[in-house]
A and B are shown apart, each in its own frame.
Chain A
Amino acid sequence: MDKAIIVDRLVKNFEVTEKEPGLTGAVKSLFSPKKKTIRALRGISFTITPGELVGFIGPNGAGKTTTLKTLSGLLFPTSGFVSVLEYDPWDRRPEFLKQIALVMGQKNQLWWDLPAIETFELNRAIYEIPKRDYEENLKELVDLLEIGKLINTPVRKLSLGQRMRMELTAALIHKPKVLFLDEPTIGLDLVAQAKTRDFIYEYNKKYGATILLTSHNMDDLVNLARRVVVIDEGRIIFDGVLEELTERFAKEKIISVTLSNENDIKRIETIGKVKRMAFPQVVLSVPRAATAVAAAELLQNFPVSDLTIEEIPIEDIIRRVFKGGLKRK
């Protein structure tokens, strides 16, 4: 198997009923429901090789979660081809389900009123994990996530961060080969975020698991994913190495100069967009193509003691990705 995941021209439409606010709106929609088709995915294609860790990013409503849900067999594709570990996810065959996991930051499978260990035991039976493997996996996960003391506490008494780690344990107790993570660090404090991240990294390395992860957390992406797929309005607009995002989407470069006196400092605005001015430091953003000209002009006409040209930080690009509206070049 040279591809763990294949997605080819996947389309997913949703039918939704629109409702006007208030009681009149509710009554109206009862008698003449206004149907609307939402085109969540408009023909996306990509493949992922076994063991790869790919970040899936885009603004809200771009279609990330829809893709993950389709890949794990929850949604029926409107058209297109999907294959995960050479299975059609929609069949939801037990052999397939035993090899995957979908973890959603805001969904939980833990039994709220019972200690988490009960859910783990239940999953052991459901996934038919041999006793020895189960104990081994559990010990490993408990150590990695540092939750040893908590597994006998009723879930409702755990903090969000603790619960999230329990969720991860419950979702991974059967050691899935393919892991779909939807916002795994959402709502966690910084320490818990870092722990979860370390864990995902370890899990990927140790078991060679294929991981597809969506996140709005910059650190998740910068630290974990080498490859990112950017999706916007149901289309893939970028698929490649994280660093290349800059080249692809940054239309500007950053020039920072250190000036030796304040004369003419106002005039500097004619050269580029001033991002920050705090004498002696001035930071300008200039169009990519005009960088060299701008730099030359600066050196010629201003009392420059130091000058550097930089790319826009990757974080800024990702932030722009989240906002949406990036256009395919």
Chain B
Amino acid sequence: MNKYLQIFKISFAQEFAYKANFIMWRVRNVFQIFLIFFLWDAVFSDQGRVVFGYDRTKILTYVFGVMLVRALVLSSKSVDIARDIATGELSNYLLRPISYFKYWFTRDVSSKVLNIMFAVVEFAILYLILKPPFYFQTDIFTNLSFLISVGVAILIFSTLIFIVSTVPFWAPELGWGSHFLVTVVVVESLSGSVFPIDVLPQLVQRVLMITPFPYLIYFPIQVYLGKIGGFQYLQGTLISLLWIVVLWLVLRRVWSKGLKVYQAFGR
């Protein structure tokens, strides 16, 4: 356990190595929030407008929720895995008594913790400036359910990224492309981070809810908003957990096959 704590620490230190860069990154985040806020604020400028069952308060909460959950779930250092494999950097890890996945998972967690620390501060400041009509969940049990669903989402996303990242074992030049396809096209559009899933037709919704994607963003937010609870919550969590098991088994298999064709490039 100590080794992963050490990785956590060094990962943290690494983030601060370029201070100017770090500040720019945070500034960018704040601007992004401004942009999204004003966009949706303009769309719902008419106070009474309701679109797909979302009024101004709910959509703004959803939008802010997306930003928060995204920061928790989709922020990931492990995009570098594909590069590690393509460049042979992976060798450095294989040579040491350490689990490569746990290594990256630790680095992800460390990056997430850092992200949250700053996000909370920024969010508080922005909240005071913009005074958005944000819906605060007060029920402890719902908040707890929300945190669990976020944890589950993180696990799904990590295994998904790990699997996608193994492509360069077979096609070293495809690392970035496959990543883009999965994270940007598939995850962004199907996870509910662009629009809430429940604006889609019933049938599409039902199909989507069997895939792992909505459980990354949409599901946790709906749990937070109190729209999903009880039986639906249990059902969703069960599906997510099943997906984690399936994805994990796939990952193990793909990974051990990949290592056999690994050429440890670089020289």
The 0/1 profile, CB within 8 Å of B marked 1, for residues 191-202 of chain A is: 000000000000
Whether B259 and A76, one on each chain, are in contact in the complex, defined by CB atoms closer than 8 angstroms, is yes
A69-B264, A75-B263, A125-B3 known; A102+B10 contact, CB < 8 A: no
Could you say which of B69-77, B91-99, B131-139, B220-228 contacts chain A?
B91-99
A73 to B92 alpha-carbon distance, docked (Å)? 12
A15 to B5 alpha-carbon distance, docked (Å)? 39
**Interface residues on chain A, number (Cβ under 8 Å):** 36
For A15, the closest partner residue in chain B by CB is: B261
Asked if B230 is at the interface (CB within 8 A of a chain A CB), the reply is no
A12 to B112 alpha-carbon distance, docked (Å)? 42
B13 contact set on A, CB distance < 8 A: 114, 118
Asked if B229 is at the interface (CB within 8 A of a chain A CB), the reply is no
Q: Contact partner of B88 among A73, A107, A127, A182, CB < 8 A?
A: A107
Nearest-neighbour CB distance to chain A for B166, whole angstroms, equals 15
Whether B96 and A111, one on each chain, are in contact in the complex, defined by CB atoms closer than 8 angstroms, is no
Asked if A233 is at the interface (CB within 8 A of a chain B CB), the reply is no
Whether A126 and B98, one on each chain, are in contact in the complex, defined by CB atoms closer than 8 angstroms, is yes
A119 contact set on B, CB distance < 8 A: 10
Whether A113 and B96, one on each chain, are in contact in the complex, defined by CB atoms closer than 8 angstroms, is no
A121 contact set on B, CB distance < 8 A: 6, 10
Nearest-neighbour CB distance to chain B for A90, whole angstroms, equals 9
A125 to B11 alpha-carbon distance, docked (Å)? 14
A113 contact set on B, CB distance < 8 A: 14, 17-18
Asked if A74 is at the interface (CB within 8 A of a chain B CB), the reply is yes
Whether A104 and B3, one on each chain, are in contact in the complex, defined by CB atoms closer than 8 angstroms, is no
Nearest-neighbour CB distance to chain A for B265, whole angstroms, equals 10
A154 contact set on B, CB distance < 8 A: 17
**Interface residues on chain B, number (Cβ under 8 Å):** 27
Q: Contact partner of A72 among B10, B14, B95, B259, CB < 8 A?
A: B95
Whether A75 and B264, one on each chain, are in contact in the complex, defined by CB atoms closer than 8 angstroms, is yes
Could you say which of A92-100, A133-141, A262-270 contacts chain B?
A92-100
A104 to B94 alpha-carbon distance, docked (Å)? 14
Asked if A20 is at the interface (CB within 8 A of a chain B CB), the reply is no
A74 to B92 alpha-carbon distance, docked (Å)? 10
For A73, the closest partner residue in chain B by CB is: B94
Whether A126 and B91, one on each chain, are in contact in the complex, defined by CB atoms closer than 8 angstroms, is no
For A76, the closest partner residue in chain B by CB is: B260
A104-B267, A182-B267 known; A111+B91 contact, CB < 8 A: no
Whether B94 and A74, one on each chain, are in contact in the complex, defined by CB atoms closer than 8 angstroms, is yes
Nearest-neighbour CB distance to chain A for B255, whole angstroms, equals 13
A219 to B267 alpha-carbon distance, docked (Å)? 22
Asked if A109 is at the interface (CB within 8 A of a chain B CB), the reply is yes
For B98, the closest partner residue in chain A by CB is: A126
Nearest-neighbour CB distance to chain A for B189, whole angstroms, equals 26
Asked if B262 is at the interface (CB within 8 A of a chain A CB), the reply is yes
A76 contact set on B, CB distance < 8 A: 259-262
A118 to B12 alpha-carbon distance, docked (Å)? 12
Given contacts A69-B264, A100-B95, A104-B267, 5 further A-B contacts (CB under 8 A): A94-B97, A102-B95, A111-B10, A122-B3, A125-B5
Q: Give 25 pairs: A residue, B residue, CB < 8 Å, sorted on A.
A: A72-B95, A73-B94, A74-B95, A75-B264, A76-B260, A101-B95, A102-B95, A106-B266, A107-B92, A107-B267, A113-B14, A113-B17, A114-B13, A118-B10, A118-B13, A121-B6, A121-B10, A122-B6, A122-B7, A123-B96, A126-B97, A127-B96, A127-B97, A128-B3, A128-B97
* A residues adjacent to B (C-beta < 8 A): 14-15, 65, 69, 72-76, 92, 94, 97-98, 100-102, 104, 106-109, 111, 113-114, 118-119, 121-128, 154, 182
